[in-house]
A = this chain, B = another copy of it.
Amino acid sequence: MFKQVTIIGFGLLGSSIARALKAHHQAEKIICADISRAVCEKVQQLGLADKVSTDLGNSVKGSDLVILAVPPASMGAVAEKIGPHVQEGAIVTDTGSVKLDIIRQVQDKLPASIHLVPSHPIAGTEYSGPEAGFAELFVGRWWIITPLAHTDVRAVEKLTKLYESFGSNIEIMDAAHHDLVLGLTSHLPTLIAYTIVGTATELEDDVKSEVIKFSASGFRDFTRLAAQDPTMWRDVMLTNKDAVLELLQRFTEDLNAMQKAIRKQDGDYLYGVMENTRKVRKEIIEAGQAEYVYPNKSPETQKS
């Protein structure tokens, strides 16, 4: 489908895209560009690209698709380097978890002759680096595309088909709307997870070891989120600052109300909130976004 694809930034997402491109024969040639020499050597060892380079500018020459898979706050600097070298008519996309700020960063640094089609795959693991990637990462996952007002629909269609070939479900969305929705479903939960795990690290040593031991009782879910790549997540919080601060404000108000209810022994208030949130889980299961798994039964046993 594409003659030559340059992927800039070869971490978990970049290397997974390279693997998916190969697995589904979507690119004749794959170029890996990463400012880290160690990453480039690793990619060569793993045989993930036809060519590797630490020279970002040169790496995009002749490519009809360029994918920026670097941390959100580095997008502008990368766009500046590749701007003068991107081929006319090429599609440039990214994998950032924030959309408005990234568009602001890159838009003016890329020539008007290319097609900028920002996108965001809602997929990831707690591991990072080129070894951590795998072709199936995107299967059954959402891939959100946030075209600009003037983006060519054919470029959007081409990317849609590519991501669909990886097994993703596509959603087209306004960038500002994306940042609010993901702010709540992803950025705020992750910020809270990092915070509560951080709170635990400051406990007395004897309590700390038991927190590890008995983590299965709720805490463990938070540690998975709090084990993700710190560079990327630092950038997410800073580049989606307005939405994150706004949502954090609402959350803090609600948490204060819960705290007050506990202090005043107001069981009715607590029950009201807890009864209400139960419905949300039901809606998620009904929407096919989660299924109930008995902790100690295999899925086969459960079906019977």
Residues of A within 8 A of B (CB): 73, 122-123, 125-127, 134, 136-137, 139-142, 144, 171, 177, 180-182, 184-203, 207, 210-228, 230-231, 233-235, 237-238, 241, 244-245, 247-248, 250-252, 254-255, 258-259, 262-263, 265, 267, 270-271, 273-284, 287, 289-290, 292, 294-297
Contact between A294 and B221 (Cβ–Cβ < 8 Å)?
Answer: no
Minimum distance in angstroms from A74 CB to a CB of chain B: 12
CA distance A255 to B221 in the complex (A): 18
Closest 6 pairs (CB-CB, A-B):
A230-B274, A227-B281, A186-B217, A189-B218, A197-B277, A226-B277
Apart from the given pairs A201-B279, A215-B289, 9 other A-B contacts in the complex at a CB distance below 8 Å: A122-B217, A201-B277, A201-B280, A212-B283, A234-B274, A235-B267, A241-B265, A245-B263, A248-B259
Contact between B221 and A281 (Cβ–Cβ < 8 Å)?
Answer: no
Supposing A136-B297, A221-B189, A226-B274 touch, asked if A184 and B200 sit within 8 A by C-beta, the answer is yes
Minimum distance in angstroms from A265 CB to a CB of chain B: 6
B-chain residues with CB within 8 Å of residue A273 when the two chains form the complex: 194-195, 198
Contact between A199 and B274 (Cβ–Cβ < 8 Å)?
Answer: no
Task: Tell me the nearest residue of chain B to A122, going by C-beta.
Answer: B217
Tell which of B177, B184, B210 touches A219, judged by Cβ atoms closer than 8 Å: B184
Minimum distance in angstroms from A295 CB to a CB of chain B: 6
Minimum distance in angstroms from A201 CB to a CB of chain B: 6
Contact between B142 and A277 (Cβ–Cβ < 8 Å)?
Answer: no
CA distance A147 to B197 in the complex (A): 30
